[in-house]
Chains A and B, each alone.
Chain A
Amino acid sequence: MRRALRWLMAVCVVVATSTAAYAADPRAIDLRPLVQALGSGGYSGTEKALTQLSEAGDPAAVPVIEALQAGDLYVRKADGSVVVARKAGDAFTLTDPLTRAALGDAPAAAVEKIRINNSLRRAISASLGALTLMSPDAGVRRSAADAVFKSRDASALETLSAAIAKEQDKGVRAAMEQARAAILLTGEAASKMTDAEIQSATDTLTARGDRDALVLLNMVAGSGASDITKKSAAAAVSTLEQKLAFWAALQNLWYGLSLGSVLLLAAIGLAVTFGVMGVINMAHGEMVMIGAYTTFLVQEFFRAHAPGLFDLSILVALPAAFIVSGGVGIVIERSVIRWLYGRPLETLLATWGLSLALQQAVRSIFGPTNREVGAPSWMSGAFELGGLTITYGRLWIVVFAFAVFAALLVALKRTWFGLSIRAVTQNRPMANAMGIRTARVDALTFGLGSGIAGLAGVALSQIDNVSPNLGQGYILDSFMVVVFGGVGNLWGTLVGALTLGTMNKFLEPYAGAVLGKILVLIFIILFIQRRPRGLFALKGRAVEA
């Protein structure tokens, strides 16, 4: 309680100080008189006003100073006000320098240019650099530094050095130092630098470690710079290339993990119905599709009745999809599949027929077009981790896939229901004799597998088009995963999904997406020849029934 109070007080203090800071914000200073002063007092008057403007530190002054630099700033003779004028035919089009409001046209004789000399030019670029590089807003400073890095404008060097000396924010200072290194290495200054300075500049660029830095270093290595600079740059290029290759490999690994977890989600329900029960459910993809449409309906409900709680809709959709898909699964098991146990090829045909009918049913109800399923705010966006870009949506799907896998494993190994499933799988008559209602276990197991497919549908609705054909795209892949991993083994499914996902993503950069997929399929066909029962085959008498 006490701690909570202290927290509350701390929060109050922070809020209060930030409000105070806002009140003292230099932006509150009215720029108008300063801008007005630019137009009077000749060169010295302009310079004085310029200094005051840049000291005010308001980014709003930047366009005005840029106009001054470009020679677009004029004084209107009629009232002596400072305006931005651009030549349009014989006349000038006038705009207000601060608000950019149009002030109409004026003949050339009605305005007088504010002239600038060399000393003023220097002052202008210094104050422009200072305004952006020393802006109180860290984001502005950072983008100014990035802009300098890209332009490599040698005139910014002085301001940049001054800004670096003052900079407190680590990240911004790094960006500024990189910008300075870029100017030093590519500019004329490079020839006058000592070896140590060159080395430190290339090190700074290497530390930046992205493609821009690589391009820059490559440019330096290939340019007419001194040998020592070139050598240093070439060494930096090779380090950087190695580093980038490492991150690229890691990014591929992440994509592979991401694809693998999607495959895992789609296949894991199949691992239950196919692996544990021996039922080939070709309508499995449609269970996924039903899960995705359930998500759509839940979201529609939230949109209509509680738009504020939209972020929670996915959490509601999860149990809903599990129940709907699981329910459909149980109905299918009771009405069709139970007559076909022991005839897997016939089950395959019957469930294929069901999948066609379910697709058409959904198409008739919801229409053939894609349905819009939104992402909750906590699933959108991305963050950077070293050289990796990771989107939250994908991250959550990976987490979710593993969570579902773990939950299923626990359910099968640690619960009474799981025990019954395993008992019926291993020895049906004996399980029956022990009082397990095998028919009910069958129905519930099939419902479980279908329900998990529904959960997969919720996740896939976030990354794929929600259309009646959604399931079709996953059914073959799911079967490949289960067969590759070994039927009847959940761990095999996990390993199979991740292996196939990673393999696919590592082949893609070399072979292209389609050829990569073909290669994976051929690999599976050949793999099945070597190990006809998959990666983790069941051993013993169960194999040859």
Chain B
Amino acid sequence: MLLRFFLMGLDRKAGIVLTILAFLAVAVPVLTLWVPADSPFHLSVFTVSLLGKYLCFALLALALDLVWGYCGILSLGHAAFFALGGYAMGMYLMRQIGPRGVYGNPVLPDFMVFLNWKELPWYWLGFDHFWFAALMVLVVPGALAFAFGWFAFRSRVTGVYLSIITQALTFALLLAFFRNDMGFGGNNGLTDFKDILGYDIQADTTRVVLFVATVAALALSYMIASGVIGSKLGKVLVALRDAESRVRFMGYDTESYKLFAWTLSACMAGVAGALYVPQVGIINPSEFAPASSIEAVIWVAVGGRGTLAGAILGAVLVNMGKSYFTGALPELWLFALGGLFVAVTLFLPKGLLGLGAQLKAKLPGRKASPLPNAQTANQATGQTAGQKGA
């Protein structure tokens, strides 16, 4: 049954994605750990962590694509779920430091000693167990998304309004996590991690294992996402993306469908955050910044909205570009990113993966194809300005 679910969504594209991921999962450890350091094929641990970071972002983009590409919900607050997952993992890693902190307190993390806290707040209890933290990585973003979505979808908050209140959500969390008395380290966040599951977090092997875990999480999430989309449920999702009112009139309980996809997506984002934190070694409130959520949207848009594989491709490419630009031409990075936003929305409405189809449709007959998303957007705006596109 479960196997059928996973296999159902697999098509040629999925095969390519999973093959590449499997290749990475094998090649990267080999090139890092067993190829001698002076060989041109050797990968440094730094590169591995960087790749791992890209793949975490790819997982976030995949989660976002699930709701934006297939459900029509443009979330401008997905980084909040990412950061919450990251904080859950960060809390576990903080507890693992034990008495090795600067103040040497066996129970309290350094920042709590610094703030003169006497005992661990109740919401930190349990985070010394990995299984509990791992559960929270899924439960906390999932529960928040469920509560938020339950209210929002039931009240039929759609389109732009939904996007803006997701921004409000992530902004409120940003402000909250900046507060010292929240007990999450204020604006310094959580850092100085020592080990994970008893292994030194700085060790080469740990880093490689974390990378492989990220690849595995990405592959599994991809299979789940494509399984959902290939199922009958996925067909309803796409239908309500394109014409929500009609689907509702046909008797479907659209709220529940949206809520399912939304919560699943938030959990995936949480996992991405949880894998991100041990690889970069810090989590702080800036992850909640409204801008980072919007940046994640552009990854999906660049790769191709509603393609899953495109989200992964977009996230990796844009972040590689970011690493290059911020290192080599820091002045130009925002121009490049800004230009990318404009260019993609104007010229690549289907993203890089849709480029082939777009060219094919345009070249032979020179027939202007209708813009692919016009339908959705019209429905979402609630404004009459949509008439101009028609």
Contacting A at CB under 8 A, from B154-179, are 154-161, 163-165, 167-169, 171-172, 175-176, 178-179
B338 touches A360 (CB 8 A): yes
A357-B164 contact, Cβ under 8 Å, with A278-B384, A487-B383: no
Contact of A215 with B by CB under 8 A: no
A545 touches B378 (CB 8 A): yes
Partner of B384, one of A352, A425, A533: A425
**Which residues from chain B contact A442 at a C-beta distance below 8 Å?**
388
Most A CB within 10 A of own CB, among B163, B345, B377: B345
Contact of A280 with B by CB under 8 A: yes
Give the CA-CA distance A418 to B285 in the complex, in Å.
44
Q: Name the residue on B nearest A542 (C-beta).
A: B384
Contacting A at CB under 8 A, from B329-360, are 331, 333-335, 337-342, 344-346, 349
A340 touches B345 (CB 8 A): yes
Contact of A168 with B by CB under 8 A: no
B341 touches A533 (CB 8 A): no
B340 touches A353 (CB 8 A): yes
With both chains docked as a complex, state the minimum distance between the C-beta of A283 and any C-beta of chain B, in angstroms.
Answer: 9
Q: Name the residue on A nearest B330 (C-beta).
A: A360
**Which residues from chain A contact B386 at a C-beta distance below 8 Å?**
278, 341-342, 545
Give the CA-CA distance A217 to B69 in the complex, in Å.
68
**Which residues from chain A contact B290 at a C-beta distance below 8 Å?**
476
Contact of B381 with A by CB under 8 A: yes
Contacting B at CB under 8 A, from A501-545, are 514-515, 517-518, 521-522, 524-526, 528-530, 532-533, 542-545
Partner of A339, one of B176, B334, B346, B387: B346
Annotate A340-365 by CB proximity to B: 1 below 8 A, 0 otherwise.
Answer: 11111111111011111111110010
Partner of B373, one of A346, A488, A530: A346
**Which residues from chain A contact B172 at a C-beta distance below 8 Å?**
517-518, 521-522, 525
Most B CB within 10 A of own CB, among A353, A526, A530, A545: A353
Contact of A428 with B by CB under 8 A: yes
A428-B384 contact, Cβ under 8 Å, with A336-B346, A349-B301: yes
With both chains docked as a complex, state the minimum distance between the C-beta of B384 and any C-beta of chain A, in angstroms.
Answer: 5
Contacting A at CB under 8 A, from B311-329, are none
**Which residues from chain A contact B169 at a C-beta distance below 8 Å?**
521, 525
Contacting B at CB under 8 A, from A309-347, are 336, 339-347
Give the CA-CA distance A364 to B329 in the complex, in Å.
13
**Which residues from chain B contact A344 at a C-beta distance below 8 Å?**
159-160, 377, 380-381, 383, 385
**Which residues from chain B contact A359 at a C-beta distance below 8 Å?**
334
Q: Name the residue on A nearest B297 (C-beta).
A: A349
A350-B384 contact, Cβ under 8 Å, with A360-B335, A524-B168: no
Contact of A17 with B by CB under 8 A: no
Contact of A479 with B by CB under 8 A: yes
Contact of A237 with B by CB under 8 A: no
Contact of B245 with A by CB under 8 A: yes
With both chains docked as a complex, state the minimum distance between the C-beta of B150 and any C-beta of chain A, in angstroms.
Answer: 10
A532-B171 contact, Cβ under 8 Å, with A350-B345, A429-B387, A545-B383: no
Most A CB within 10 A of own CB, among B334, B373, B379, B384: B384
Q: How many residues of B contact A (CB 8 A)?
A: 62
Contact of A233 with B by CB under 8 A: no
**Which residues from chain B contact A339 at a C-beta distance below 8 Å?**
346
With both chains docked as a complex, state the minimum distance between the C-beta of A362 and any C-beta of chain B, in angstroms.
Answer: 11
**Which residues from chain A contact B297 at a C-beta distance below 8 Å?**
349
A342 touches B390 (CB 8 A): yes
Give the CA-CA distance A350 to B301 in the complex, in Å.
11
A277-B385 contact, Cβ under 8 Å, with A345-B159, A346-B349: yes
Most A CB within 10 A of own CB, among B148, B156, B179, B386: B386
Annotate A472-496 by CB proximity to B: 1 below 8 A, 0 otherwise.
Answer: 1000100110010001100000000
Contact of A426 with B by CB under 8 A: yes
A342-B345 contact, Cβ under 8 Å, with A479-B164, A514-B175, A545-B384: no
Give the CA-CA distance A282 to B291 in the complex, in Å.
11
Contact of A73 with B by CB under 8 A: no
Contact of B2 with A by CB under 8 A: no
B378 touches A342 (CB 8 A): yes
B338 touches A353 (CB 8 A): yes
Give the CA-CA distance A278 to B156 in the complex, in Å.
19
With both chains docked as a complex, state the minimum distance between the C-beta of A337 and any C-beta of chain B, in angstroms.
Answer: 10
Q: Name the residue on A nearest B301 (C-beta).
A: A349
Q: Name the residue on A nearest B72 (C-beta).
A: A345
Contact of B250 with A by CB under 8 A: no
Partner of B338, one of A356, A472, A521: A356
A345-B160 contact, Cβ under 8 Å, with A515-B179, A545-B384: yes
Give the CA-CA distance A282 to B338 in the complex, in Å.
12
Give the CA-CA distance A101 to B114 in the complex, in Å.
54
Give the CA-CA distance A350 to B349 in the complex, in Å.
11
Contact of A279 with B by CB under 8 A: yes
A278 touches B165 (CB 8 A): no
Partner of A529, one of B157, B175, B179, B373: B157
B378 touches A476 (CB 8 A): no
A528-B301 contact, Cβ under 8 Å, with A476-B167, A483-B164: no
With both chains docked as a complex, state the minimum distance between the C-beta of B329 and any C-beta of chain A, in angstroms.
Answer: 11
Give the CA-CA distance A428 to B389 in the complex, in Å.
11
Contact of A118 with B by CB under 8 A: no
Contact of A117 with B by CB under 8 A: no
A343 touches B346 (CB 8 A): no
B175 touches A342 (CB 8 A): no
Contact of A427 with B by CB under 8 A: yes
Q: Name the residue on A nearest B160 (C-beta).
A: A344
With both chains docked as a complex, state the minimum distance between the C-beta of B186 and any C-beta of chain A, in angstroms.
Answer: 11
Report 30 cross-chain contacts, Cβ distance below 8 Å, ordered by A residue: A280-B160, A342-B387, A344-B380, A344-B383, A344-B385, A345-B373, A346-B373, A346-B377, A347-B345, A348-B74, A348-B163, A349-B294, A350-B342, A353-B341, A354-B338, A355-B338, A356-B338, A357-B339, A360-B338, A425-B385, A429-B387, A479-B167, A524-B165, A524-B168, A528-B155, A529-B151, A542-B383, A542-B384, A545-B382, A545-B386
5 nearest interchain CB pairs?
A353-B341, A342-B389, A278-B385, A357-B338, A278-B383
Residues of B bordering A, CB below 8 Å: 74, 148, 151-152, 154-161, 163-165, 167-169, 171-172, 175-176, 178-179, 245, 290-291, 294, 297-298, 301, 331, 333-335, 337-342, 344-346, 349, 371, 373-374, 377-390
Residues of A bordering B, CB below 8 Å: 277-280, 282, 336, 339-350, 352-361, 364, 425-429, 438, 442, 472, 476, 479-480, 483, 487-488, 514-515, 517-518, 521-522, 524-526, 528-530, 532-533, 542-545
